[in-house]
Amino acid sequence: MPEAFPSLADLHARNPLHQAAYPDASAVTEVVKELEQRPPLVFAGECDDLRGKLAQVARREGFVLQGGDCAETFAGVTAANIQGKLRVLLAMAVVLTYAAQVPVVKIGRLAGQYAKPRSKDTETRGGVTLPVYKGDAVNGFAFTPEARTPDPRRLLEVYNASAATLNLTRAFVTGGFAHLAQVHSWNADWVKSSPVGKQWEQLADEIDRALAFMVACGLDDDAMRSVDLFASHEALLLEYEHALTRVDSRTQRPYNVSGHFVWIGERTRQLDGAHVEMLRHVRNPIGIKLGPTTTAADALALADRLDPDHEPGRISFITRMGAKKIRDLLPDVIEGVSASGREVVWICDPMHGNTFEAANGYKTRAFGDVMDEVNGFFDVHDQLGTWPGGIHVELTGDDVTECVGGADDLAEGDLGNRYESLCDPRLNRNQSLELAFLVSQRLTDGRVRRGLRDLEQSGNELAPARADLPA
Ligand SMILES: O=C[C@H](O)[C@H](O)COP(=O)(O)O
Ligand SMILES: C=C(OP(=O)(O)O)C(=O)O
């Protein structure tokens, strides 16, 4: 008999971190009641489907691409903005699937990513101190006392914005927009002169030819019409996540129906904390961020608490150690978890350990550091013989200037041109696509190396000559 889902009061008794300090408790109660009446945003069966796909990834049969805004905004719920994000995610997925030949599990950081844990509770400008912006789910970005006061009614707007985003996303990915025959049109307005734009055009041409060949052979290309794209966000605000946890009529078990995949952040993953307690009861596949202080014992304790049954696909560890530290810190954590016999999904978040302040005051990340962390992630998995299961990236479909470097060589002086993130800097669409090409190269290298190893082990006579290829 599964344990009862804890009440909101039980969770609050654990002193949860990074919550909103609402001035009016009765308004919170009203909002929670209303949210509890709203229909689910996702279905339990879809969460099970994703758990199955993640189990395949853990078995080395796929790769996760998880990406989207650092912080979604209500103003950003427009067709153009959502389409832009989907185009870049789908393009990255095509690069990984076609170039690296791995099935890609696509998970958007979208339709719910509206709340942010912050380093400080307040912000001071010109001698005035106000509550810090904690995401549109909590308060407004404008630097006024009215905007910065947490307002629980914003949670209803989170629900509405997420529903609208999911609705359009479902229409895009199943209604023909994602058809592989459209790859050219997804990015028709991309700068063709940029190196990554040219690389994309070449790949799109190849895909066109491959599809034409399939059709000429009499094969149906209908399977290429639609794709699966799942929604994810950090399960941070207890009022929202709790109100959207429902008992599934098929299984009588609780599911968080605000997104298919929810994760616990680096700042709220305390073993006895409210977030771990809440998510240990739900059946969704869940992510856990692991920063540079994580030990193997921490990771194992979290896995034991959140996945006592060792259920395939249940747990994804999203590591974000920083480019300088990953090669030293990650091996112990992976070895400790692997030694326990667990098969988890390992995902690399190369963003959150690589943030710095530019000389002109912008919070930024360098594309070189992002790539260095991704390379470190692949290096460590190659050395240990474990599977690098995916990447988790903050990105946008627009031409923003928030991260420096990349093929277009953005400099710190360019950051002010188009810095739009309300929290952390995102890769723009060229940087995102460039990252996908580099990751696809690492996956291809790994495939070649594993193929050679298998060939060698099988005693095939071709093996000695091939084994001379670079390690
Ligand atoms: O996205 C992660 C955190 O919410 C973010 O990095 C916190 O930013 P801060 O350190 O500016 O508060
Ligand atoms: C807050 C985030 O990351 P982390 O918990 O890893 O700091 C995030 O991904 O938005």
- The string of pLDDT tens digits covering residues 300-346 is 999 999 999 999 999 999 999 999 999 999 999 999 999 999 999 99
Does the annotation list 450 as a binding residue?
no
Each residue's pLDDT tens digit, 44-70: 999 999 999 999 999 999 999 999 999
Q: How does residue 184 score in pLDDT terms, banded at 50, 70 and 90?
A: confident
* Residue 41, domain member (yes or no): yes
What per-residue confidence (pLDDT) applies to 470? 47
- pLDDT given at position 446: 86
- Least Cα distance to 277 among 4, 46, 32 occurs for 4
What CATH number does the domain containing 378 carry? 3.20.20.70
Comparing CA positions, the residue from 383, 335, 372 lying closest to residue 350 is 372
pLDDT at 195: 81
Residue 116 CB–ligand 1 contact under 6 Å: yes
pLDDT band with cut points at 50, 70 and 90 for residue 113: very high
Nearest to 413 by CA among 367, 458, 361: 361
The C-alpha atoms of residue 95 and residue 200 are separated, in whole angstroms, by: 8
Q: Domain for residue 204, yes or no?
A: no
Q: Is there a domain that residue 254 lies in?
A: yes
User: What would the pLDDT profile of 72-86 be if each residue is shown by its tens digit?
Assistant: 999 999 999 999 999
Domains in the chain: how many in total? 1
Residue 293: nearest ligand to its CA?
Answer: 2
Residues 203, 93 contacting (CB under 8 angstroms): no
* Residue 215 located in a structural domain: no
CA of 39 to the centre of ligand 1 (A): 31
pLDDT recorded at residue 468? 53
Is residue 448 predicted with pLDDT exceeding 80? no
The rounded distance, in Å, linking the Cα atoms of 285 and 282 is 9
Instruction: From residue 411, give the alpha-carbon distance in Å to each of 67, 172, 365, 366, 416.
Output: 23, 34, 11, 9, 10
Least confident piece of the model among 67-71, 213-217, 357-361, 390-394: 213-217
Q: Answer yes or no: is the C-beta of 70 below 6 A from any ligand 1 atom.
A: yes
Q: Is residue 466 over pLDDT 60?
A: no
Closest ligand 2 atom to 318 CA:
6
Q: What is the pLDDT of residue 190?
A: 66
- Our answer on whether the CB atom of 134 is closer than 6 Å to any ligand 1 atom is no
pLDDT at 185 over 70: yes
Angle formed by the axes of helices 326-339 and 367-384, nearest 10°: 40
Report yes or no: 440 and 84 within 8 Å, Cβ to Cβ.
no
**Measured CA distances, 143 to 76, 126, 148, 155 (Å):** 19, 11, 7, 20
Buried b (16+ CB within 10 A) or exposed e, 370-390: bbbbbbbbbbbbbeeebbbbb
Q: Does residue 211 fall inside a structural domain?
A: no
Measuring CA to CA, how many Å separate 245 from each of 114, 254, 256, 262?
Answer: 17, 6, 4, 12
For residue 236, what are the domain limits?
A: 8-178+226-466
**Residue type present at position 64:** V
Task: Name residues whose C-beta falls within 8 Å of residue 413's C-beta, 6 or more positions apart in sequence.
Answer: 360
- Is 320 near ligand 2, meaning CB less than 6 Å away? yes
Q: Is a pLDDT exceeding 50 seen at residue 6?
A: yes
In a domain, residue 219? The reply is no
CB 96 within 8 A of CB 436: yes
C-beta neighbour count of 196 within 10 angstroms: 22
Helices (H), 175-295: 183-186, 195-216, 238-243, 274-281
- How confident is the model over 187-197, as pLDDT tens digits? 766 666 678 88
Q: pTM of the entire structure?
A: 0.94
Is 185 part of a structural domain of the chain?
Answer: no
Q: Are the beta carbons of 352 and 398 closer than 8 angstroms?
A: no
- Is 192 within a domain? no
What region, left, alpha or beta, does residue 234 occupy, with left being phi > 0 and alpha being psi -120 to 50 degrees?
Answer: beta
Ligand 2 centre to CA of 108 (Å) is 15
Q: What residues contact residue 318 under an 8 Å CB cut-off, 6+ apart?
A: 66, 263, 287, 288, 289, 290, 347, 348, 349, 392
Q: Backbone phi, then psi, for 169, in 5-degree steps? A: -60, -45
Q: Has 109 been labeled as part of a binding site?
A: yes
250-298: pLDDT as tens digits: 999 999 999 999 999 999 999 999 999 999 999 999 999 999 999 999 9
- Residues in the chain, total: 471
Closest by alpha carbon to 349, among 260, 471, 234, 200?
Answer: 234
Residue type (1 letter), 440:
S
CA 131 to ligand 2 center in whole angstroms: 20
Q: Best of 266, 348, 373, 395 to mutate for ligand 2, by most ligand atoms within 8 A of CB?
A: 266
